Chains A and B, each alone.
Chain A
């Protein structure tokens, strides 16, 4: 894969420049860079958007259509919004951009070892962010398959910059149309063979030296919503060794049906139910990722993760979401006195040693030997 000024893969090693990538893609690049692999994909940059509207002459068209528009004239806004969006979808994309997009899409499919569905999402830049969701600029197209449909979805994301609501919002708030740009994320749809959550502490006690994983087959919704009893695995956070585990019953799994682009529930056979759904290496990989997320965000995390059936081993663990763990992380484990036999505890041994340099013990001439 080769990043260009129009295309940047999330794991391309580039800086997460929000001006070029928009907020959504910049965050995906950041997470990938911190070894928290998100589903693979690429950003169609704001440069691509600008090049498209400039080379196709769309910028002049947009300028002309929006000139003198009254934000309170709903009909006019709707008509012109529709006109702009239609142009966005119909005007030919310059060859250079089309070629780069084709290569990027092809590379992504190759990595996924076949043509797989993708999600296409708009990724707005900084100045639009605070009100972005209100302005209706968060278009998302799921389960999109094939170059033509994916291209079409990218254009629709671009076009979402000119919905009636967005136009009205900008007019009313005095935000100029010049310089507006939109990036788009094209990202593999997760095809989870196993998934779940991981918390970077022991939720039972608040002990932060543990990582707790709930894992089950298929897509993670059933774990999150409590419809299956997942495998519960607790690891030591420092050594990444399993401290305890309880194998859950995992009677059902949700798997994507590619034909209908929907998730279907199916029964898990006895053999798979009875064993842990993750291998030893996979358990350690999930825990390591949770630990990295905690280090990255500098607070206990609650993450959602999945192993993707389409990706090669070693690249198939994906981070779907990371959020701060707030329930238990405020608790600090209490220090209790260590019980010893006969009421005696060796607990003050280090205090004996710490007396070094202070007054010598009674009956002894020498204190600590200074070198």
Chain B
């Protein structure tokens, strides 16, 4: 086996073919994000693709999420906490996808970091609850400030009050300051994002390693279940919709939900019914903050948020009403989940004797305190912060569109964030000097050219990794966050040869075995096609897909580990899940009869589509 490890390699970056029509793609991204400007080390280091967070090709502006996230992850390992064995993660964009390479700490520097790490991590672990309360205030404050930023077209003339008041500024500075501030506020919450995350994972990893030691072969999902939160903020948006569905039934306003694609019409119909006003009040109360929820993962400008696309939550409510009326229990069985968690914990605990039991209690306690953050932060940052961020980006995009820079507000995503700054100055200059800005003459063709390149890049799936992998993956974050283990890398390398049974193999993420009809979903817009009782096959799922988990029998994803969203939600809904199959969504076709074994991590195609 070890021989194979040495022999086999992923392609070098330069060996991956550039899709036709994507030539010159490097120019779309900032200079420091492409491999070509490294001093040869691009062919030496092992890079893996993070298609878990960035499954599709970046438009130039969208690199902001990857840059901020991975940079901020690194700062906590390297500069805040001094995690003894691990620095941050280096990142590059290749052919539109994000590749990462963990940066280890040289062996001789590890011991020196230990006292610093213990002091810093110790402070957090000892004051977890109060620090976390402060974290929420900080994050909400950032979001609040972001909400208040405005992007308005410049007026024809400076208001007379500003003349009289001696302001002596034309207001363009507000537009530019607000743009800079928007970027800074986004950056600020990404820094906060990692304040607790790395520690949450560390606490989990600590308990995980202990369990693997004392209960060799313990299923990963058992460990996850012992520390996973049950009453989670990440599940709140979905729970709110369920409550609204039950409330609609109680108030007998169900009839108003016949066409939820018509948002205004639906809400007007509800309001006109007796008791409808009460429902509308509850509906509006639930929106802040819980409708700041995306059907995507927060990293793309095209992600749709419930608050701006209310046909999505209304459609889910309609579906919940139907299911509740058919007699289904739609609320999550929270008490049962808690009881099951307690049973599992107690049974493992009782297998240990006094001393080991005390260690188990301490480690599980810490992980159970710290771990829920790993799931909950997602609502605050990826959903809420990024929801507001992308909305503001579109507002600015609309100002440009009105000024003739490009056609639709979203076209701004084809600029890098530095170029947007330039375009702003171009816009205010044209306005100030009383002539036409250059942008309207330059950007429309340039955006079309870039769009063709992005479309061409999108025709090709990323390589799972680049260059020669190390014989063994030992870096804890790589394993925990991305599920990149020695076995996983081997599986990728052997993917062409295939399993002799023809089955797809992935992570046994949520137990159980079912057979059913596959529904392949590669984009959130296709969620409406999912039928009751089908098996969802997706590149990756997002927490906001929650409502369809009540409808499906099992989930198969291309990407993600034990702690991916699909895995967490499926355990919550007691649905079998196999994650990280690598090619489930491209191998399986909608309509095929498949068998998903979430206990062993295998997926088989049983019959072709009828």
Contacts and interface: CB of A to CB of B under 8 A. Distances in A.
Interface of A: 205, 207-210, 234, 236-239, 241-244, 280, 332-333, 335-336, 338, 340-344, 346-356, 361-364, 366-369, 371
Nearest to A353: B125
Interface string B104-133: 110100110010001101110111111000
B353 interface: yes
Contacts of A238: 222, 344, 347-348
B366 A349 contact: yes
Nearest to B110: A342
Interface of B: 84-85, 104-105, 107, 110-111, 114, 118-119, 121-123, 125-130, 202-203, 205-206, 209-210, 213-219, 221-222, 344, 347-348, 351, 353, 355-356, 359, 362-363, 365-366, 369, 474-476, 508, 511, 513, 599-600
Dominant secondary structure at the A interface: loop
A369 B122 contact: no
B110 A344 contact: yes
Contacts of A242: 599-600
19 contacts: A209-B214, A236-B217, A236-B218, A237-B351, A242-B600, A335-B214, A338-B209, A341-B85, A341-B474, A343-B110, A346-B205, A349-B202, A350-B359, A350-B362, A352-B125, A353-B369, A364-B119, A366-B127, A369-B130
Complex A-B, nearest 8 residue pairs according to Cβ-Cβ distance, in ascending order: A353-B125, A342-B110, A350-B362, A352-B122, A369-B130, A209-B215, A243-B217, A356-B126
Given A236-B219, A342-B110, A366-B127, A332 B353 contact: yes
A369 to B, nearest CB: 4
B214 A333 contact: yes
A280 B513 contact: yes
A352 B221 contact: no
Given A341-B104, A347-B206, 8 more contacts: A234-B217, A239-B219, A242-B599, A244-B217, A347-B210, A353-B366, A366-B127, A369-B130
Contact of A342 (B84, B121, B209, B344): B84
A352 B351 contact: no
A340 B210 CA distance: 12
A352 B362 CA distance: 10
A155 B467 CA distance: 83
A287 to B, nearest CB: 13
Contacts of B126: 352-353, 355-356, 361, 367-368
A361 B359 contact: no
Interface centre among A209, A210, A350, A366 (most CB of B within 10 A): A350
Contacts of B356: 335
Nearest to B207: A350
Given A280-B513, A350-B359, A344 B85 contact: yes
Contact of A350 (B129, B206, B508): B206
A244 B219 CA distance: 11
A280 B353 CA distance: 32
B213 A350 contact: no
Nearest to B600: A242
Contact of A352 (B118, B219, B355): B118
Contacts of A351: 362
A335 B355 contact: yes
Contact of B122 (A234, A343, A353): A353
Contact of B362 (A234, A244, A353): A353
A344 B84 contact: yes
Contacts of B348: 209, 238
B119 A362 contact: yes
A368 B127 contact: yes
Contacts of B475: 341
Contacts of B600: 242
Contact of A336 (B122, B203, B213): B213
Contacts of A333: 214
Contacts of A344: 84-85, 110-111, 114
A208 B205 contact: no
Nearest to A354: B362
Contacts of A336: 213
A244 B127 CA distance: 41
Contact of A237 (B110, B221, B347): B347
B588 to A, nearest CB: 22
A346 B474 CA distance: 13
A234 B85 CA distance: 35
Contacts of B84: 342, 344
Contacts of B125: 349, 352-353, 356
A208 B222 contact: no
A23 B120 CA distance: 65
Contacts of A356: 125-127
Nearest to A208: B351
A335 B118 contact: no
Given A353-B366, A369-B127, A342 B206 contact: no
A209 B212 CA distance: 11
A348 B121 CA distance: 11
B119 A361 contact: yes
B121 A352 contact: yes
A8 B538 CA distance: 56
A341 B470 CA distance: 14
Contacts of A338: 209-210, 213
A21 B496 CA distance: 66
A361 B85 CA distance: 22
A245 to B, nearest CB: 10
B449 to A, nearest CB: 47
Contacts of A207: 215-216
B511 A241 contact: yes
Nearest to A238: B347
Contacts of A363: 119
